[in-house]
């Protein structure tokens, strides 16, 4: 049986997020505590009926979690959870899928605009007190988004929101998704994942917004990069491993496309030895697309909905995994 509200204890486990602070403002009366390190989580997880975690979760914790009934993941990624071990213990599990879809889509359009308007270069010039002269070379000038074609790889929550934003700037949107029969989700045309290499030559901007799965790992391959137009831009707000990072690096080193803007890399933090740090045609943000001031409250909305379902005895949770 799932514990009643007055018997429930929630553990918030994250190194940075202010989950407890935001939860306490809701005045639910539910007992809760917060841990900031894995060692503290090991020590105290036995007190918890519910855990909110993401990167801090390790399946070794299951042996210490005698009361645990439900895990609400703080992120949409679920690779760290063993469904077999949790299922054997009767622990329910839900993701935070969609919690930052709007934020990530906004970050993607911000990256596109930043590169299109050459804002990283302008910021660098500001620090050097350089006033750039007018450019006679048309290929080096800023460009406008209206009339350009955006290819979105992944037409789920993030991709569909990005499509809406792109349409507001007058862009044409081509979408790629695992199952095209599920609909366009705001794209002008929709295709399957296997059509990527054939479609990239049509795009002025190629944006990755899909989940990392065995099917999408390395999807943006050397062949896909080679097929891009020389004046085009590559954007990745999905996961670093969706793109072949060696092929990306080689593409940018040899100026085969105009620019790349990435929020994710294969290894994070991006190693200091990576050429991506210093290539002038690459703009890097440190996996911050989903982090906004609203993130904690968005996750807590999912948590509270799922708690209400568990108290009612519902069999289905929002974003249910187990």
Residue 84 designated active-site: no
Helix (H) or strand (E) holding 150: strand 149-153
Q: Which two tokens stand for residue 310?
A: 């568990």
- Annotated active-site residue in 22, 287, 291, 305: 287
Sign of CA dihedral 249, 250, 251, 254: positive
> Nearest CA to 155 among 119, 194, 192, 123?
192
HSE-CB at 223 with a 13 A cutoff on CA atoms is 8
Beta strands in 158-312 (DSSP E): 172-177, 189-192, 205-208, 233-236, 259-262, 282-284
Burial state string for 23-40 with b = 16 or more CB within 10 A and e = fewer than 16: beeeeeebebebbeebee
Residue 268 designated active-site: yes
- Annotated active-site residue in 92, 118, 157, 239: 239
Residue 308 designated active-site: no
Q: Give a three-class secondary structure readout of 75-136.
A: CCCCCCCCHHHHHHCCCEEECCCCCCHHHHHHHHHHHHHHHHCCHHHHHHHHHCCCCCCCCC
Tokens 């993607």, residue located: 108
- Annotated active-site residue in 144, 198, 267, 268: 268
Residues in CB range of 203: below 8 A, 6 or more apart: 149, 150, 151, 174, 228, 229, 232
Query: Which residues are known catalytic residues?
Result: 239, 268, 287
């Amino acid at each position: 049986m799932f514990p009643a509200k007055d018997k429930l204890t929630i553990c918030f486990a994250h190194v940075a997020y202010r989950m407890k602070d935001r939860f306490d403002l809701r005045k639910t009366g539910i007992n809760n505590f917060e841990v900031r390190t894995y060692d503290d989580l090991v020590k105290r997880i036995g007190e918890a009926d519910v855990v909110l975690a993401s990167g801090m979760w390790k399946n070794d914790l299951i042996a210490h979690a005698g009361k645990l009934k439900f895990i609400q993941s703080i992120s949409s990624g679920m690779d760290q959870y063993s469904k077999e071990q949790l299922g054997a213990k009767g622990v329910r599990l839900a993701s935070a899928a969609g919690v930052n879809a709007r934020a990530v889509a906004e970050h993607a359009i911000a990256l596109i605009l930043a590169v299109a308007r050459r804002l990283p270069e302008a910021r660098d010039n500001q620090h050097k007190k350089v006033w750039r002269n007018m450019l006679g070379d048309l290929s080096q000038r800023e460009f406008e988004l209206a009339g350009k074609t955006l290819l979105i790889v992944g037409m789920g929550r993030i991709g569909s929101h990005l499509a809406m934003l792109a349409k507001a700037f007058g862009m044409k949107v081509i979408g790629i998704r695992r199952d095209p029969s599920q609909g366009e989700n705001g794209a002008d045309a929709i295709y399957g994942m296997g059509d990527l290499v054939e479609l990239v030559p049509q795009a002025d901007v190629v944006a990755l917004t899909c989940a990392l799965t065995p099917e999408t790992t390395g999807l943006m391959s050397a062949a896909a990069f080679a097929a891009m137009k020389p004046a085009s831009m590559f954007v990745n707000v999905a996961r670093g491993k969706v793109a072949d990072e060696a092929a990306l690096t080689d593409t940018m080193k040899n100026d085969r496309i105009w620019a790349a803007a990435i929020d994710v890399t294969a290894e994070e933090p991006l190693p200091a030895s990576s050429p991506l740090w210093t290539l002038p045609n690459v703009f890097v943000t440190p996996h911050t697309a989903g982090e906004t001031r609203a993130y904690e409250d968005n996750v807590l909305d999912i948590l509270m909905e799922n708690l209400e379902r568990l108290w009612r005895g519902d069999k289905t949770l929002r974003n249910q995994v187990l």
